[in-house]
Amino acid sequence: MKKIAALIIILMMAGQSAYAMPGYEAGIAGEKTTQKNEFYYKEVVFLTGEPILMEGTIKVTEDAKGIKSTLEYELANTAKSASLERKVVFNHTSSTNQLGNQTTYSSAVAPNFDETVEIGSDTFVLKDYQFSRSGITDDRTIIKYLVSNWNGRKVYTRNSAGGEVVVDVTSDLYRYDNFWSTTETAIIRNTLTYKYKVNASDTSYKEAVGTVEYAVSNSSVKDLAYIANDPRDISFKGGYVLKEGAENIVSYRFETPVLSSWKPTGKRNTGRNSYKLTTVPTQQRTFVPNIKDIAPSYWAAEDIKRMISMDIIGVADNNYFRPLGFMNRGEFAKAIAKASNLIPANGTAAKSKSYDLAFNDVDKNHPHYDYIMTAARTGIMQGTGANRFSPEEYLTKIQAAAIIVRALGLEEASEESSIRTSFKDDAAIPAWAKKSANVARRMGIVGGNPDNELEPNKVLTRAECSAMLNRYIRYLQYDMRKEYREKIINFGR
C-alpha cells in the first residue's frame, strides 16, 4: 500500500520515525504526488474570521537520525484569491524504558519558521511561533497504543501594521496500530484573537475572539472480502481478497466574529463542516479454501473459510476441516499469532522480550514451535508450569478469551469488574478469568448461549475457535475504530 499520512506527527519510537500526521495543523494528506516525500493536502484556515479551505501539497522530510523533521506547504484557494506558503522544522527527542515496550517523546519548533498567507488584499505573516508536544507509546506487540498532547501559540501580523491574529492551540491525540487497522484522531482546539484598531491613530489594539474545534482523523483498514467468480466452468466458485485503503477526515465547528474592514460587526460566523481524502485501495488474493465437510449453511461456514484462506487455522487432513474437533494449545498459539500477524513472512519469530524460554515438551521440530515460542515470549500465552507448555492439551473457551484479552493489553486497563460477570453461570467462571470474560463480552469476542450461559470450561472446538478469531479480527478492524474515530469526529454525538 502507498504510504499516506493524515495528520503527520513524527513519532519517535524505538529509534525510528513513524508518520501519522503531517505537522500539527488541522489538515489531512492523501495520495503521494509524483515528487519524493510529497502528498496532496487540505487545510481550513480562519485568519479572516471565515473558513477558507486551502488545497495543495505538503512535503515531509527528516534527517537520517530521525531527530528533525521539515514540513513544507504550498496551498491555495483560487475562488478566494488565497494562498499559503509555510515551512517549519520540528526537533524531536525520545526515551525508551528498560523493557523496551514504552517510549516517551517530545517535540519543539525550531526558530527558523516561515509562513505567509494571502487572502484577497490581506497578507498575514507569522512573526512568532511557540510549540511544545509530549507523548507516550505502549507497545503490546499485537497492538501499539499512543497518546500525545501539544499546545502552542502562533502570532500573525496583518498587512505589516494593520492588525494581528493570535492563535492559541491545545490538542489531544489518540492512536492505535495493529496489523488489521490503524486509527489516529486528534482534537485540536483553536482560540483566535483578532486584534484591531478602531481608529488609525489608536496606540493600542482592541480584541475580538473566536473559537474553532477540529477533529482530525486518519484511518486505514484491511478488509477480507469474498468475490464470486462469474464463469460457471471454473475450478473454484470464488475467493477472498484482502483489500487495504485509507480515509482521512476533518470535522470542525466554529464560532468567530464577522469582520468588515478588519473590525467586528457584532455578528458571528457559526457552523460546522467536514472534508476528507481517500486513497485507492490495494488488494491481494488469498488461497482458495477447498474443504469437503463444511456445508454453506453451516453456522460457522464463513468464519471457517476466512480462517482457512489466511492459513490461521488449517484443514485437519485431506481437505476435511473437522469442525467438531478440539483446539489444542499449540494450534491456538499458531492461530492467534497468524491472526495478529506476529510471524513475519520469513518464518522467524516476531519481536520478543529479552529473556529466553525453554519448554521441555516443545521440541524445535514441533510443527508449531515458532508460534508457541512467539506467543510465550511476547506474554500472550503462558506455560502450564515446570517448564511445560502442554501444546497438545485442549483449550477451554475462557482460556482462549483470556489469551485474546491479554494480547490486547486490556486485562488491567479496562474498567470491567474482576469480581463478577453478568453470565448466568458466573459461578463456573474461574476468579482469575472474570475480568477477561467481561472484557471479551464487551469486545464481542464471546457471548452467552440462549440461556445467557458462557460455558467457560467447555473445550473449544475448531468451529468455535474460527468464529472467536473472526470476531477478534473484526474487533481489530472496525470496533476499535468506532471508539477512536466515529465518536470523536462527531464531537461525542
Contact indicator for 22, 73 with CB cutoff of 8 Å: no
| 490 belongs to a structural domain | no
**Boundary-marking domain end, from 240, 267, 283:** 283
Domain count, the chain: 2
**What pLDDT score does 5 carry?**
38
| 64 belongs to a structural domain | yes
pLDDT, tens digit, 9 for 90 and up, residues 94-140: 999 988 899 999 999 999 999 999 999 999 999 999 999 999 999 99
CA atoms of 49 and 193, how far apart (whole Å): 10
pLDDT, tens digit, 9 for 90 and up, residues 461-474: 999 999 999 999 99
**What pLDDT score does 491 carry?**
65
**What pLDDT score does 22 carry?**
64
Q: Are residues 94 and 231 in the same domain?
A: yes
Distances from the Cα of 279 to the Cα of 4, 186, 218, angstroms = 8, 20, 11
**What pLDDT score does 160 carry?**
77
Is the pLDDT score of 351 beyond 90?
no
Q: Are residues 324 and 421 in the same domain?
A: yes
**What pLDDT score does 492 carry?**
56
161 burial (CB, 10 Å; 0-12 / 13-18 / 19+) is: exposed
Q: Are residues 269 and 319 in the same domain?
A: no
Work out the pLDDT band at 357, boundaries 50, 70, 90. low
Cell 467462571, residue located: 429
Work out the pLDDT band at 356, boundaries 50, 70, 90. low
Q: Percent of the chain having pLDDT more than 70?
A: 91
Question: Mean pLDDT score of the chain, rounded to an integer?
Answer: 90
**What pLDDT score does 23 carry?**
76
C-alpha cell at 420: 463478577
| 488 belongs to a structural domain | no
Task: Give me the mean pLDDT over the 251-280 stretch.
Answer: 95
pLDDT, tens digit, 9 for 90 and up, residues 397-432: 999 999 999 999 888 767 888 899 999 999 999 999
- H or E stretch covering 50: none
Q: Which residues span the domain enclosing 472? A: 290-480
